[in-house]
Structure 1
Amino acid sequence: MRVLVADDHDLVRVGLVMVLDAQPGIEGVAEARDGVEAVSAARRLRPDVCLFDVRMPGLDGIEAARTLAGPDVDDPLPVVVITTFDLDEYVHDALRAGARGFLLKDAGPDLLVQAVHAAARGDALIAPSVTARLLSTFAARSAATPTEPVVPLSDREEEVLLAVARGRTNAEVAADLYVSLSTVKAHLTSLMTKLGARNRVEVAMWAHETGRVDG
């Protein structure tokens, strides 16, 4: 798995690459010091995952994510945003821009590796410590009121929706609901189709924005 790391702080960037390189099957294929350099390298190398800091000079991580993974991108690249800030409006913007995950820089190597793997397989991961608070806070600030899907959600889809919004993994949802992993994935696919969501992050955001999850 080839990962591009972009961060304007040399020590942080080098540290992230060292953590990733130490994992079997993961290679830090390139480094970038700002968003412009990151976008150029990503388009040239087509890495499996891009790991972007939120705040970078020239072009920040949000705009870099939108350029590579936004709604209008035909062949989006998986982008994970990593930041120092626990509750930062940039994070919400990054997820809206198409990022598949959000981590704090103090999350630790295990969660970093999990996020990279999740993004590479088309899933998404948000740091569990901030998932509910982050999404519910910005849902309350959202100017637009999300509409209900044309085809109503089934009772089971509502259960899966709530679990995903609370940061549960597919395996945890399967255990909680006493169903198979493939069944959870099928429900999640159906949810994304009905809600017009591209990934589980957008599914979770919709749940919070419609008031289905409190905090």
Structure 2
Amino acid sequence: MTIRVVVADDQELVRGGFAMILGAQPDIEVVAEAGDGAEAVEAVRRHAPDVVLLDIRMPRMDGIEAARTVCAETACKAIMLTTFDQDDYVYEALHAGASGFLLKDVRRADLVHAVRVVVAGDSLLAPSVARRLVADCTRRGASAAGVDARLGVLTARERETLVLLGRGLSNAEIAAALVVSEHTVKSHVSNVLSKLGLRDRIQAVICAYETGLIAPGVPDGTPSREGV
């Protein structure tokens, strides 16, 4: 399967560099480049790519608004491109539906890996961005009065799965922690996302902190090993 990608950045050299790296891969095709958010949205509508890379700061329409439009209208996954001094945009962009963040100084191998990861249905954050996300969740809405009532739709095992998602564990790691198969974990993850109306694993991380299921700096306990 060929992964179709749109690259959007108002800096031509940056945009061209990313497009060149991705286009050199046998399983990736860069179908369009865009110099601003409005062009990116139009390119996604026209070419129906699997992934769009969006610089956060672009003229006419910024990357966050472009991600919001793309994620609302299509199944295309959005990866945000940022620099260290732009971490304030993390929370808003992820709520817009972005599947992850990459720093602009990303290594070429990590850039290629990131595109493949989000197409496979996972999400990603650079470590420094992940730390900022947790801080933002704490400041902007984590429940101080206990676990949010919206989690009442989850079974006990689905709650445990959400805790482990919130801690950033992969399906294999969750399976080991719960002593179940990866197939069972995939089912639990799918149920969690569906019941809570979440787009992907990153939104599950946000939800785990916002609802008070996990409190930064406070041990969240070890999942029980009863049931499946």
- The alignment's TM-score, normalised by the length of structure 1, stands at 0.87
The answer as to 2:16 corresponding to 1:14 is yes
The CA distance in 2 between the partners of 1:10 and 1:171, in whole Å, is 40
Q: Structure 1: where are the runs of 5+ without partners?
A: none
Map 1:1-215 to 2 at 5 A. 1-70=3-72, 73=73, 75-85=74-84, 88-131=87-130, 133-143=131-141, 147-154=149-156, 156-211=157-212, 212-215=214-217
Query: Which ranges of 4 or more aligned residues in structure 1 deviate by more than 3 Å?
Result: 143-147, 175-178
For 1:44, the aligned partner's letter is R
How many Å separate the matches in 1 of 2:94 and 2:66? 12
Deviations 1:84-135 (A, max 9, x none): 136622121111111111121223223322321232233322224432x222
The CA deviation string for residues 118-155 of structure 1, in whole angstroms up to 9 with x for no partner, is 32233322224432x2222111222585543232441x
Structure 2 vs 1, CA of residues 85 and 129 (structure 1 numbering), >3 Å: closer, same or farther? closer
After TM superposition, give the deviation of residue 178 of structure 1 in Å.
3.7
Secondary structure of the residue that 1:88 maps to in structure 2? Answer: helix
- Asked if the contact 1:78/1:122 (under 8 Å) is kept, the reply is no
Q: Normalising by structure 2, what TM-score?
A: 0.82
Cα offset, 1:23, TM superposition: 2.2
Counterpart of 2:84 in 1: which secondary structure? coil
Aligned pairs, number: 210
User: Helix, strand or coil for the counterpart of 1:52?
Assistant: strand
Identity %: 51
Structure 2 CA distance for aligned equivalents of residues 42 and 151 of structure 1:
35
1:193–1:67 distance in 2 versus 1, CA, 3 Å: same
SS of 1:125 mapped into structure 2:
coil
Contact 2:91 2:137 in 1 (8 A): no
Consecutive unaligned residues in structure 2, runs of 5 or more: 218-228
Give the letter for the 2:117 counterpart. Answer: A
Query: Aligned in 2, Cα 1:87/1:140: closer, same or farther, shift over 3 Å?
Result: farther
Query: Which is higher, the Rg of structure 1 or of structure 2?
Result: 2
1:173, CA displacement in angstroms? 2.6
Equivalent residue letter for 1:157: E
Say which SS state the counterpart of residue 179 (structure 1) adopts: coil
1:207/1:87 CA distance change after superposition, 3 Å: farther
